[in-house]
Structure 1
Amino acid sequence: MPVVDYVDLDRFMGDWYVIATIPTFLEKDAYNPVETYKRDNDGTIATTFTFNKGSLDGPSKVFRPRGFVMDETTNAIWGMQFVWPIKADYRIVYLDDNYQQTIIGRNSRDYVWIMARTPSISEQDYTKLVDVVESLGYELDALQKAIHAK
């Protein structure tokens, strides 16, 4: 799975709204999904994934995995640890020049996340990002658009 040439980690930090995903079991029936990254002093990435379960006003769920940069040449390959000692494959496979839209993929092509700094993007941008997902070998039948409160 190819990754971007380089990620400026400081620019990548902050909130990313999930626009579409092939969801993990944790994300099924997630509304308002947002992933937030913050660099810690030890070089790891404190991650907070929040969403409402079942509906826009459903109960709030929060997960706090930790990201580990696995390739310091590109900063684009991470291990995402939900449970010690397992670090799940997490690859930044697309990132626009302005750090406003990204795609996170996995070598196994089982999950993917299209994310943006805003809760919605233009249909033109969405189509372009879906085309990238397809070009990476993903089955688009499983891709689901996320729903955010307006």
Structure 2
Amino acid sequence: MKNIIALVLAVLVTGCTSVPEGVKPVTGFELSRYLGKWYEVARLPHSFEEDLQQVTADYRLKDDGGVRVLNRGFNVQTEQWEQAEGKAYFVQSPDVGHLKVSFFGPFYGAYVIVELDKDHYRYALVSGPDREYLWILAREPQLDDGIKQSLVSKARQLGYATEQLIWVQHSNDATAAKTNP
């Protein structure tokens, strides 16, 4: 019985950090260039970001070689800023854009960089452990329409439900600026 429980737990943990079938993480990845602030341009819907706009992710190096992840967004229903802090570690080697990220204790999920502007690290297409999770990230709140269309096309070719993408609003109005520390 112990072996069955151990096997089930191993499958659950591995399944959450695995790469979706047919999706390949980028290679030649450089963490030092990826660190810093990213704006969420678009995402597939999921409960943990429901009603959030002005979403950003900030990645910083941790002392143990991992990555500190700080996600922030403005909840338009509650009119409050929300944030979640997590940690991420490479699943394979540091030059492969496949990390495992945790916001809840020992439970990790996949963070798979599917597409990346390797010249300037200005945009990225990121998947989770399956095709239900997808993000388009950029260094600026707005992304060139041609690049957006290219990333959406790539995601569609890989089997993601791109017609369900939520395009994140990033406001520059004075009210939002006053409430954003």
Q: 1:114 maps to what in 2?
A: 136
Q: 1:69 maps to what in 2?
A: 90
Q: TM-score, normalised by structure 2?
A: 0.78
Percentage of pairs with the same residue: 24
Q: What SS does the corresponding residue of 2:155 show, helix, strand or coil?
A: helix
- Say whether 1:85 aligns with 2:106: yes
Contact kept? 1:9, 1:75, Cα under 8 Å = no
Structure ranking higher in helix proportion: 2
Structure ranking higher in strand proportion: 1
The letter of the residue matching 2:40 is: V
The letter of the residue matching 2:64 is: D
Q: What SS does the corresponding residue of 1:137 show, helix, strand or coil?
A: coil
Consecutive unaligned residues of structure 1, counting only runs of 5 or more, are: none
Query: More displaced, 57-66 or 34-43?
Result: 57-66
Q: 1:24 maps to what in 2?
A: 46
Q: 1:12 maps to what in 2?
A: 34
Q: What SS does the corresponding residue of 2:115 show, helix, strand or coil?
A: strand
**1:129 Cα deviation from its structure 2 partner:** 1.1
Contact kept? 1:47, 1:65, Cα under 8 Å = yes
**1:109 Cα deviation from its structure 2 partner:** 0.7
Q: RMSD of the TM alignment (CA)?
A: 1.5
Q: Which structure is larger by alpha-carbon Rg, 1 or 2?
A: 2
Ranges of 4+ aligned residues in structure 1 off by more than 3 Å: none
**1:23 Cα deviation from its structure 2 partner:** 3.0
The 5-angstrom pairing of residues 138-149 of structure 1 reads 138-149=160-171
The number of residue pairs the alignment matches comes to 149
Q: What SS does the corresponding residue of 2:26 show, helix, strand or coil?
A: coil
Q: Distance in 1 between matches of 2:101 and 2:132?
A: 15
Against the structure 1 CA distance between its residues 121 and 31, is the aligned structure 2 distance closer, same or farther, given a 3 Å change threshold?
A: same
Q: Distance in 1 between matches of 2:65 and 2:161?
A: 34
Q: TM-score, normalised by structure 1?
A: 0.93
**1:104 Cα deviation from its structure 2 partner:** 0.6
The 5-angstrom pairing of residues 96-135 of structure 1 reads 96=117, 97-135=119-157
Consecutive unaligned residues of structure 2, counting only runs of 5 or more, are: 1-22, 173-181
